[in-house]
Amino acid sequence: MIKKYLLALDQGTTSSRAIIFARGGKIVASVQREFKQYYPHKGWVEHDADEIFDTQLLVAKEAIKKAEIDPNEIAAIGITNQRETSIVWDKATGKPICPAIVWQCRRTAEYCDELKAEGLTDKIRMKTGLVIDAYFSATKIRWILDNVSGARERAERGELLFGTVDAWLIWKLTDGRVHATDVSNAARTMLFNINTLQWDEELLKIFGIPSSMLPTVLPSSGIFGQTDMFGASVPIAGVAGDQQAALFGQCCFSHGDVKNTYGTGGFMLMNTKDKPIFSENGLVTTVAWSLDGKADYALEGSTFVCGAAIQWLRDGLGLIKTAAETEAMALEVPDNGGVYVVPAFVGLGAPYWDAYARGAILGITRGITKNHIVRATLESMAYQTADLLFTMQKDCGAKISSLKVDGGASSNNFLLDFQADILDMPTIRPTCIETTALGAANLAALAVGFYSSLDEISSSWAKDRVFLPSIDADRRSRRIEMWHKAVGRTLNWL
Ligand code: ADP
């Protein structure tokens, strides 16, 4: 039977999604299912790993049904996933020994402070590219070994396995035959040496994690195993963490190619090819993917609150009914009326790194309307994105020429027009903004010969719209200056 389709499994933080792509990246069917979030204590976030797998399997089966295709027509499966979330399970029974600890969970923050106090910051940064933080998997695994009864002894006897969500899905889909992850996910554990592309013995010792628990690390594009769960034997052939998959889905294959995802938070990644660039300004360094025996690296920066600021306008302030109406409201006024919104609701990330900053609305006069506030909120998303991009430029010492965008809020034309103005560079939105799933599918496609080269993949990537800068340098620098002045008023607030 002719292999005409790719199946992408997009396992996110709040939902599991499956998309069937035809040649050229055309979406044939897409099915999504939310699953439960658990908040057992303040700052803790957990998932049920079995529910993650069950919902993922269900949406994949439904997508195949909805697309009305024969599973034998699927050339390969690509997996992309919420990163860093940690699962430990019993090798013999396949049962998780406790809930999955989600990337957002802060339960190991104090332990991270201890690691910093021990002076491990530079060592960890140079080996893993990461800043010491509770987000990454290492301290979560250690927490499980220290707090689940008998876990450490069982791990030392080789009875337990660890995986990020990709490894868990691969293990379940192959009925326990394959325990593997890809380099992009391994790079988010804080146990993986991104220079040697191997688990780091010294870090394993520091965190007290037996190496027998760890999955084999494989290239992002290559055969991980076969699954029989969809009525045919299908290879799992591409795996990458969500942000790296989006970089691949945006065809950012060359040095200096950058994409920004405007989701709940904002994530910017730049491909730096074979050189890991270690940031002097609070960005992290990660592996983008590896294929054909070579790894590409990426520089990454994130903003905690991006589209979430729009949710706040809707749910917190009641200023809007839907996110979509913000575009027309922003255009009702000729400018922001001097208003700046700094959405530092949970502090500020790169390049400020101030956990004590808090949000503010500045520059209000009697003539200010809700349209100004809405406009200033959208503008804040662009300013924060610009801060990341300018930081990347500083770290890599080269001028970036354009920005590719995706994520829910990238449908807002006002936002992208303003983004182009502030960056003074073309801001490009593709026709397919499901870039995360597309990236995973394309990684798989390369491995099985569905596509023959990166060039072939690039040729099917299409622009929806290019937003061009339209303001002069003076106005641009005045606005950026006012934004930085506004940010300055929010720093060290608590
Ligand atoms: P995630 O994958 O993080 O859940 P999405 O990529 O689905 O997020 O994007 C959803 C976010 O985008 C929400 O925070 C929402 O407020 C914002 N958003 C969606 N549509 C628009 C719009 N037209 N204008 C501005 N923000 C939007």
Contact 353, 382 (CB under 8 A): no
In single-letter form, the type of residue at position 428 comes to I
* 10-residue mean pLDDT series, the chain (494 residues): 94 94 94 92 92 97 96 97 96 97 90 93 94 92 96 96 98 97 97 96 97 97 96 97 96 95 93 92 94 93 91 94 97 97 89 88 96 98 97 89 94 97 96 92 97 94 94 96 97 90
Question: Containing H/E element for 421?
Answer: helix 413-423
In angstroms, what is the span from residue 265 Cα to ligand 1's centroid? Answer: 9
* Separation of alpha carbons 8 and 238, rounded Å: 9
**Torsional sign, CA 305, 308, 314, 317:** negative
- Of 92, 85, 64, residue with least CA distance to 138: 85
In angstroms, what is the span from residue 39 Cα to ligand 1's centroid? Answer: 23
- Decide: 219 in ligand 1 pocket, CB within 6 A: no
Per-residue confidence (pLDDT) for residue 253, from 0 to 100: 96
For every residue of 386-414, DSSP letters joined together read: HHHHHHHHHHHTS----EEEESGGGG-HH
In angstroms, what is the span from residue 434 Cα to ligand 1's centroid? Answer: 13
3-class DSSP assignment, residue 457: helix
- Decide: 331 in ligand 1 pocket, CB within 6 A: no
- Decide: 343 in ligand 1 pocket, CB within 6 A: no
- Decide: 410 in ligand 1 pocket, CB within 6 A: no
For every residue of 245-309, DSSP letters joined together read: HHHHHTT--STT-EEEEESSSEEEEEEEET-PPPPSSS-EEEEEEEETTEEEEEEEEEES-STHH
Q: Is the N-terminal amide bond of 351 cis, ω within 30° of 0?
A: yes
Per-residue confidence (pLDDT) for residue 399, from 0 to 100: 85
pTM reported for the whole predicted model: 0.93
Nearest CA to ligand 1 atom 15: 307
Per-residue confidence (pLDDT) for residue 292, from 0 to 100: 85
Residue 266: beta bridge partners? 262, 303
Chain centroid to Cα 363, Å, comes to 34
| For ligand 1, mutation pick of 33, 262, 373 (most atoms within 8 Å of CB) | 262
Per-residue confidence (pLDDT) for residue 455, from 0 to 100: 95
Hey, which bits of 62-211 come out as E strands? 74-81, 87-90, 100-101, 160-163, 180-182, 192-193, 198-199
3-class DSSP assignment, residue 53: helix
Instruction: Find all residues with CB under 8 Å of 99, minimum gap 6, and list them.
Output: 38, 46, 47, 48, 49
Contact 234, 74 (CB under 8 A): yes
In angstroms, what is the span from residue 121 Cα to ligand 1's centroid? Answer: 34
- Decide: 326 in ligand 1 pocket, CB within 6 A: yes
In single-letter form, the type of residue at position 144 comes to I
Per-residue confidence (pLDDT) for residue 104, from 0 to 100: 86
In angstroms, what is the span from residue 379 Cα to ligand 1's centroid? Answer: 15
Per-residue confidence (pLDDT) for residue 398, from 0 to 100: 80
Instruction: Find all residues with CB under 8 Å of 461, minimum gap 6, and list them.
Output: 25, 250, 251, 430, 432
